[in-house]
Amino acid sequence: MRVGMTCIFEGHENATDEEIYQAELRLADLAEPLGFDSLWGVEHHFTSYTMVPDVLQFLTYMAGRTERIQLGSGAVILPWHDPIRVAEQVAVLDLISQGRFVFGLGRGLGRIEFEGFGIPMSESRERFVEAAHIVLAALETGVLEYDGKYYQIPRRELRPKPVRGFKDRLYAAAVSPESVRIMADIGAGILINPQKDWMDVAADLAAYRKTFKELKGTEAPAPQVTGWVVCDEDPIKAKDMAQEYIGMYYDYVLNHYELGGRHFDTTMGYEYYQRLARSIQKHGSERVVENFVELQVWGTPDQCLDRIVAIQEKVGNDGFNGVFHYGGMTPETAEKNLRLFAAEVMPRVKALGPVQL
């Protein structure tokens, strides 16, 4: 299995934004020497939830600081961008990194972000589909051209001209069943950010694999899983840290995405989140936070490995991307967490073979 590291640049009141950036960049510089296969970034706007408004800019910077490691976007949120500019930026990044870029894309969830860009959330699904076709066709053919509902592009060349296609390096962030067919249609593998029971995820993936085979005539690529990691030699301390740090992180999630909000009831394309919001409104957020913590990878090195193995057995992923700095952790705590996982867990995860589902 491939093992990656994800940097999220989460803000908190105990450090300035500049201090958070410098601390996270120091951790990012450790990814390649510690032996990770890939380094990932995220995209979010307008709050301290995660402070990476341009994931391609971050990865281009890291391309110049690394030599071998793959660089993944988890993800570029297409409805918030001009698809021409996305295609150009991706082409440049892939040339600079000599083919090390892994393209992850998504359609977005945060109302504060859609409103900030002046784009109705209800348009996200259609905008994503159009933009994905524009960007992926341009990266495959070197030509930008489209006449759709939201985007009209006269025929132009994409320069610098892409050298490699992304058919084997394309992923999409998808949590809701509604997104599964869309991602299969564009030929993307699935980036899983754990939010619901793994057996429910497995059911969604079974539908995705069936749809992918019907649409593409080939087997779907194995998914990649992102997980929030707490690794410590002391099992009691690890559990306490998981409840504190992962729980605090998910509080950020609830606030940024307004997951208990009633706006999902009137927003097309977010049916899964309508159901989640109603559950939070009925039962409160405490149970949702507890469930999220339980889905993640925490414990002693042996326990972390066992959790990753258990996830793979259910969803058949061939990649695991760990988040090591979040929830108000100090940089020192995050680095210790990262180094122990890299030394004691990662070699055994890399040795795991594929699981056929």
Give the pLDDT mean for 160-169: 92
Instruction: Give CA–CA dist 111/100, Å, rounded.
Output: 32
Exposed, middle or buried by CB within 10 Å (0-12, 13-18, 19+), for 14?
exposed
pLDDT value of position 180: 78
Query: Which tops the pLDDT comparison, 264 or 326?
Result: 326
Give the pLDDT mean for 121-131: 96
Domain ranges, ordered by start, for the chain: 2-350
347 pLDDT band, cuts 50/70/90, is: very high
The answer to whether residue 116 scores a pLDDT higher than 90 is yes
The answer to whether residue 283 scores a pLDDT higher than 80 is no
Instruction: Give CA–CA dist 252/48, Å, rounded.
Output: 8
356 pLDDT band, cuts 50/70/90, is: confident
39 pLDDT band, cuts 50/70/90, is: very high
Superfamily for the 2-350 domain:
Luciferase-like domain (3.20.20.30)
pLDDT value of position 273: 85
pLDDT value of position 337: 98
Give residue-wise pLDDT tens across range 173-218: 876 766 778 999 999 999 999 988 999 999 999 999 999 999 999 9
Minimum mean pLDDT range among 39-48, 147-156, 237-246, 276-285: 276-285
| DSSP-assigned letters across all residues of 287-305 | HHHHHHHHHSEEESHHHHH
pLDDT value of position 279: 81
Give the pLDDT mean for 17-23: 97
Q: Whole-model pTM? A: 0.96
Give residue-wise pLDDT tens across range 47-90: 999 999 999 999 999 999 999 999 999 999 999 999 999 999 99
Task: Please report, rounded to a whole number, the percentage of residues in the chain having pLDDT higher than 70.
Answer: 99
User: Rounded to whole angstroms, what are the CA distances from 307 to 89, 198, 270, 316?
Assistant: 37, 11, 30, 13
pLDDT value of position 144: 98
From the list 357, 355, 353, 356, the residue with the least C-alpha distance to 2 is 353
The answer to whether residue 98 scores a pLDDT higher than 80 is yes
> Could you tell me where the DSSP H helices lie in the chain?
17-28, 55-63, 83-96, 111-116, 124-141, 177-185, 198-216, 235-241, 247-257, 271-283, 286-295, 301-315, 331-340, 346-350
Q: What mean pLDDT is reported for the chain?
A: 95
Give the pLDDT mean for 251-279: 88
